[in-house]
Amino acid sequence: MTLSKRVIPCLDVAGGRVVKGVNFQNLVDAGDPVELAKIYGDAGADELTFLDISASVEDRSTTLEMVSRTAEQVFIPLTVGGGIREVADVDRLLRAGADKVGVNTAAIARPELINEIADRFGNQVLVLSVDARRGSTVSGFEVTTHGGRTGTGIDAFTWIEEASARGIGEILLNSMDADGTRAGYDTEMIRQVREITHVPLIASGGAGKLADFSAALAAGADALLAASVFHFQTFTIGEVKADLARHGYSVRLE
């Protein structure tokens, strides 16, 4: 059986509002997260990703109340990331209505967190967020933290291999070079990551035209995450799925 390719709108939230910028800079207000979540759920999104992009920077946990209100509005899987530092944070988010959690900064600081979450809840709830940019590491890609603001010097591919071995369920691979540019997904990075891990791969960063989505799948992605093209109505989730179907990909159509 062929698994359907998933289309996932991303809600980057700061100060209680959905925002979008270029490379996480010059953020523009894109609406209310709970309202947008309901719109996307009704429009045929396969999943939703809710990223509290200022939680790690401000050293606080994700807003549980907003997660809970969002979960009440949508009946598709909800992934929540931002500010998750320990197993107790995951427990609270799952109780608030999240189906999966995304970890990034805290897992890099203490990789054992991956094992602890996977052992307690199962690896199906754990998404590793990798904000990677081109850099002078062995693979040519470096991991960044704090919403792409901070370089780590860590090789992105080495980190992905370690995290895969520790028990992640999915990888959200976000190209910091392409993020918000609408110049297309980083298909070179997707292709190379696909070669080093069998963990399902969500492509993120750079979607700007319909052809970008099928190009990311052809490079090895299993799912497609996008933000500004949906928030600012460049095209609909239905239009993306129809184009993927035309390219021969299995998608869940309404």
Q: Residue 183's domain is classified under what CATH number?
A: 3.20.20.70
Residue 254 resides in a domain: no
Catalytic residues: 12, 131
Specify if 233 maps to a domain: yes
Domain that holds residue 34: 6-246
pTM: 0.91
Going residue by residue through the chain (254 aa), what tens digit of pLDDT does each one get?
A: 578 999 999 998 877 787 765 544 556 676 788 888 999 999 999 999 998 876 555 555 557 888 898 899 899 999 999 889 999 999 999 999 999 999 998 999 999 999 999 999 999 999 999 999 998 899 999 998 876 678 899 999 999 999 999 999 999 999 988 887 789 999 999 999 999 999 999 999 999 999 999 999 999 999 999 988 998 889 999 999 999 999 999 999 87
Residues 6+ apart with CB under 8 A from 110: none
In terms of DSSP H, where are the helices of 19-63? 33-42
Span 51-95, pLDDT tens digits? 887 655 555 555 788 889 889 989 999 999 988 999 999 999 999
The predicted pLDDT at position 178 comes to: 83
In a domain, 253, yes or no: no
Residue 251 lies in a domain: no
Residue 224, Cα to own-chain centre: how many angstroms? Answer: 9
Burial of 110 (0-12, 13-18, 19+ CB in 10 A): exposed
Q: Is residue 252 part of a domain?
A: no
Residues with Cβ < 8 Å from 175, sequence gap 6 or more?
A: 132, 133, 185, 186, 189, 204, 205, 206
Q: Is residue 118 part of a domain?
A: yes
